[in-house]
Copies of this chain bind each other. A is one copy, B any other.
Amino acid sequence: MNSPAHDIQLDSQGKLRHFLSVETLNREILTQILDTAENFAGINDKAIKKVPLLRGKTVANLFFENSTRTRTTFELAAKRLSADVLNVSMSTSSTKKGETLLDTLRNLEAMQCDMFVVRHQDSGAAHFIAQHVAPHINVINAGDGRHAHPTQAMLDMFTIRHYKGDFSKLRVAVVGDIAHSRVARSQLHALRTLGTKEIRVAGPKTLIPSELDHLGVKVYTDFDSALDGVDVVIMLRLQTERMKGALLPSADEYYARYGLTTERLKLAAPDAIVMHPGPTNRGIEIEGLVADGPQSVILQQVTFGIAVRMAVMSLAISSTEISQAQGKFA
């Protein structure tokens, strides 16, 4: 939507300042994130999994929507960068006392927090916050409504590159509830930007949005055809709440048509990898044997997720430090 020059995510030098959405970021930036994460992934083998890059910095986790798993990964990433972490549960904070969101943000800024990690149920919340924060604050989107979940998308890209290499040679299928998934939207953008040879989506018609064409994506309602020869299968988590409405058949019927079984996986390339953002619904979108099987890299995604979050945090902080240092001599 925005031209890169006006992308709120980038500073005047074109460096990553906020990380809100992969949509407007170019291949160079995405590759820089992946390369930086590669360094942090190496830390995991060491006895002391800590680097001092964010020492003396304060990272505030602003979770307007509860997500223990996501909060935990960001908290670990920040602590391994030696930051101080402040968990602010926004539902119990003074927003209740009639304070507006912006007042709360101004206060956290005044307390000299350096970074806000934002999780919100509304699309665009992280962008809104990034538009209004003080110049010394970096904002990281940890999932906003249906809109974006960009660190999840980047850890998926990291996992794909780690196991399968060059994107320009890969066929990737994203399967399930594309319409309501913040993860899917971010993934499709990242896959396209990184030059993926072929991107397929598969799912029930009711769960596939119509405006996918401009992303260069092939749409399948038949799962078997979508799987044919792919190198990467990304299964999405089915929000079982959807089942209550008219959008979806029963869980059994869904599994029969779109569940990734051992049998079905044989349609993909023999060395295809299976991914899932977790937590998995076994017997609904994926067979337990596949989730735990030799082609599954689901747990490796979690491990790489820490490294990718460390990468995004340290890139954003370093852009701010450079611009502040320059400001002093301006």
Give A49-85 as 1s and 0s: 1 = Cβ < 8 Å from B's Cβ atoms: 1100001111000000011110011011001100010
Known: A76-B86, A110-B303, A278-B107. A56 touches B48 (CB 8 A): yes
Chain B nearest Cβ from A90, distance in angstroms: 9
A279 touches B98 (CB 8 A): yes
Asked whether any CB of chain B lies closer than 8 Å to the CB of A39, the reply is: no
B112 touches A49 (CB 8 A): yes
- Interface size class on chain A is 35 or more
Give A93-121 as 1s and 0s: 1 = Cβ < 8 Å from B's Cβ atoms: 11001110001101111111000000000
A68 touches B88 (CB 8 A): yes
* Residue in A72, A79, A302, A321 whose Cβ sees the most chain B Cβ within 10 Å: A72
| A299 neighbours in B (Cβ, 8 Å) | 106-107, 109-110
| A57 neighbours in B (Cβ, 8 Å) | 48-49
Known: A110-B300, A279-B103. A92 touches B66 (CB 8 A): yes
* Residue in A69, A109, A279 whose Cβ sees the most chain B Cβ within 10 Å: A279
Asked whether any CB of chain B lies closer than 8 Å to the CB of A225, the reply is: no
| A99 neighbours in B (Cβ, 8 Å) | 278-280
Asked whether any CB of chain B lies closer than 8 Å to the CB of A131, the reply is: no
Q: Nearest chain-B residue to A92 (Cβ)?
A: B68
The answer for the CA separation of A209 and B80 in the assembled complex, in Å, is 48
| A97 neighbours in B (Cβ, 8 Å) | 279
Q: Which of B46, B94, B112, B306 contacts A279 (CB 8 A)?
A: B94
Asked whether any CB of chain B lies closer than 8 Å to the CB of A47, the reply is: yes
B94 touches A69 (CB 8 A): yes
Give A308-330 as 1s and 0s: 1 = Cβ < 8 Å from B's Cβ atoms: 00000000000001000000000
Asked whether any CB of chain B lies closer than 8 Å to the CB of A240, the reply is: yes
| A58 neighbours in B (Cβ, 8 Å) | 49, 76, 79
Asked whether any CB of chain B lies closer than 8 Å to the CB of A44, the reply is: yes
15 A–B contacts, CB within 8 A, in A order: A44-B112, A48-B55, A48-B56, A48-B57, A50-B55, A50-B84, A56-B80, A68-B89, A72-B111, A76-B112, A103-B279, A103-B280, A107-B278, A111-B303, A111-B305
Closest 3 A/B residue pairs (Cβ): A48-B56, A110-B302, A99-B279
